[in-house]
């Protein structure tokens, strides 16, 4: 991968990390609305997977832990801050504070709270795209817990039969809320299920952004060549609770320490410094600049008025 691309991956990952930190502060101040779902430990999966797509022709169905993917597809800080702070100009009109929005201009559609329901929607999107003669690959995500939902199986079976260009990233971050993998499924790997659908499946290190990018690039190439869907299982660790109300005391401290040492952002920084692609001063400047951009976006969002109260009734009632 050319050095300029590796630096871009790092930039997106640092943006995702700083966005998480900003949302945590705003949540504690009572300024962020809805749940705050950290993607701490999952930045490499989020960024590396989306970077394998072509934002001009492909489509992204991200989950609540995929803010990094939003950045890859061109979503700007101002729009995300307005959304999460429920101010005027929010794509959810102030009625929601998380990621339940669609931005057709950027080909981002996410996320459905009943997460398994995103896979049939993504499959339907690329089916319609195929019928229109378009070259479009859909990428969507599900967690290790959500992967047990019936809709996921139904959609994957349908997509496999029709060889739809769909890439499913299963983010295995060890726990479905407080339920460990051992109580979620009996197979050795979630990617093993691909065999039953007659499609490609593989399990990779989800903390290595280049590994994720390479595996997802191959999956996108297969999809574009008419070879059907792929399951890419990324092994990561959710380093905070399910949301900020959850103290994740159920995670053994030794396990948390082990995965903290594999921090995808800091590990990649060390890798790029060792390669000579970046210096420690460059890293500090990048972090400082990203934080400054984040603070400015927050200030601009907080200066906006609240949406009109009438927005809360739109699309709820049908007159007459």
Residue 106 pLDDT > 90, yes or no? yes
Q: Report the alpha-carbon distance of residue 168 to residue 162 in Å, rounded.
A: 15
In this structure, are residues 13 and 208 in contact, taking their beta carbons and an 8 Å threshold?
Answer: no
Q: What burial class does residue 100 get, using C-beta atoms within 10 Å of its C-beta: 0-12 exposed, 13-18 middle, 19+ buried? A: middle
* Number of domains within the chain: 1
Residue 98 pLDDT > 80, yes or no? no
Q: Report the alpha-carbon distance of residue 205 to residue 122 in Å, rounded.
A: 24
- pTM across the whole model: 0.94
**What is the H or E stretch that residue 194 is in?**
helix 194-197
Q: Does 251 reside within a domain?
A: yes
The b/e string for 288-309 (b: 16+ C-beta within 10 A; e otherwise) is eebeeebeebbeebeebeebee
Nearest to 269 by CA among 256, 281, 257: 281
Q: Does 318 reside within a domain?
A: no
The pLDDT confidence band at residue 293, using thresholds 50, 70 and 90, is very high
DSSP 203: E
**What is the H or E stretch that residue 166 is in?**
strand 166-172
- 51-74 pLDDT per residue, tens: 999 999 999 999 988 999 999 999
Strands 230-235 vs 166-172: parallel, antiparallel or unpaired:
parallel
**What is the H or E stretch that residue 190 is in?**
none
Residue 271 belongs to domain with CATH number: 3.40.50.970
Strands 179-180 vs 175-176: parallel, antiparallel or unpaired:
antiparallel
Nearest to 294 by CA among 1, 56, 3, 14: 14
What is the percent of the chain where pLDDT is above 70? Answer: 99
Whole domain around residue 258: which residue ranges?
3-313
The pLDDT confidence band at residue 318, using thresholds 50, 70 and 90, is confident
Query: Within 13 A of 153's CA, how many CA atoms are on the CB side?
Result: 6
Nearest to 191 by CA among 204, 202, 200: 202
Answer with the residue of higher pLDDT: 111 or 194. 194
Q: Does 244 reside within a domain?
A: yes
Q: Does 319 reside within a domain?
A: no
pLDDT of residue 214: 98
Q: Does 320 reside within a domain?
A: no
**What is the H or E stretch that residue 39 is in?**
none
The pLDDT confidence band at residue 109, using thresholds 50, 70 and 90, is very high
Q: Does 248 reside within a domain?
A: yes
Q: Does 308 reside within a domain?
A: yes
């Amino acid at each position: 991968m050319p050095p300029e691309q590796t630096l871009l991956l790092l930039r997106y990952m640092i943006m995702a990390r700083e966005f998480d930190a900003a949302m945590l502060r705003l949540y504690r101040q009572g300024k962020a609305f809805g749940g705050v779902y950290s993607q701490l430990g999952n930045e490499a999966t989020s960024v590396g997977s989306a970077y394998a797509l072509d934002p001009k022709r492909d489509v992204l169905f991200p989950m609540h832990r995929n803010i990094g993917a939003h950045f890859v597809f061109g979503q700007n800080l101002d729009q995300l801050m307005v959304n999460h702070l429920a101010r005027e100009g929010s794509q959810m009109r102030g009625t929601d504070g998380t990621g339940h929005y669609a931005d057709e201009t950027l080909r981002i559609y996410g996320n459905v709270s009943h997460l398994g329901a995103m896979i049939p929607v993504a499959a339907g999107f690329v089916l319609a795209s195929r019928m229109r003669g378009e070259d479009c690959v859909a990428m969507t995500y599900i967690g290790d817990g959500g992967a047990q939902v019936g809709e996921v199986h139904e959609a994957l079976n349908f997509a496999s039969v029709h060889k739809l260009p769909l890439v499913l990233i299963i983010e295995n971050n060890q726990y479905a809320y407080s339920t460990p993998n051992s109580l979620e499924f009996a197979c050795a790997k979630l990617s093993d299920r691909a065999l039953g659908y007659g499609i490609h499946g593989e399990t990779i290190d989800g903390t290595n952004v280049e590994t994720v990018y390479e595996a997802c690039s191959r999956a996108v190439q297969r999809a574009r060549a008419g070879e059907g869907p792929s399951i890419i299982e990324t092994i990561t660790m959710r380093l905070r609770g399910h949301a900020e109300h959850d103290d994740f005391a159920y995670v053994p401290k030794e396990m948390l320490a082990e995965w903290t040492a594999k921090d995808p952002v800091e590990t990649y920084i060390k890798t790029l410094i060792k390669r000579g692609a970046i210096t420690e001063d460059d890293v500090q400047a990048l972090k400082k600049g990203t934080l400054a951009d984040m603070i400015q976006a927050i200030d601009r969002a907080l200066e906006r008025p609240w949406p009109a109260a009438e927005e809360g009734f739109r699309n709820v009632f049908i007159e007459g």
